[in-house]
Amino acid sequence: MTITESLVASAILMTMATQASQVFGNSMQAIGKSRLRDGINTSIQRDIEKIRETVSQWSINTTGTDGQLSYDPPQSDCEDSILATTLLSDQNSLLPASQALNLSNISTPLQGLQIIRTIETLPGNENLVLINYSTTGHSKIKTQASTILSIPAQGWCK
């Protein structure tokens, strides 16, 4: 093997080693982002379940003695089809229109990540609750999620 062949072989080897380390670095970065996304999604799902519990407890009938779950929604709100509006304006429901999501349970460093939750009625149907989650503008990871909840008390409207 001549010196020229040796130099070419070592240049090829260095290029391959550099590319391999870049692939390794990129895969480690992807794993970190994946863990962060998993933590974000877990936090969002946990928050949705808390809201779902609050919605399911609203206008529950606590005077029943037969062990059956029933609701007693305001009849005027049933007639006007504004149960979600009433629920969201009820101070006892503790559902603020906009709030930063608690991400303290995520083990991956957040790097300034913040998710804002908004709760409102579904446009065109004030019996449904619309929940939106989105990251703030400067976040490295973009997240957009939404869900619609129906109010169980609506089933007891007359």
Can you give 43-93 as a three-state secondary structure string? HHHHHHHHHHHHHHHCCECCCCCCCCCCECCCHHHHHHCCHHHHHHHCHHH
Q: What is the dihedral of CA 30, 33, 37, 42, to 10 degrees?
A: 100
**What is the residue extent of each domain of the chain?**
3-156
pLDDT for 6-61, tens place per residue? 999 999 999 999 999 899 888 988 888 888 889 899 999 999 999 999 999 999 88
pTM: 0.80
Query: What are the distances in angstroms from CA 138 to CA 97, 108, 112, 135, 142?
Result: 22, 18, 8, 8, 9
Q: What's the confidence (pLDDT) of residue 31?
A: 87
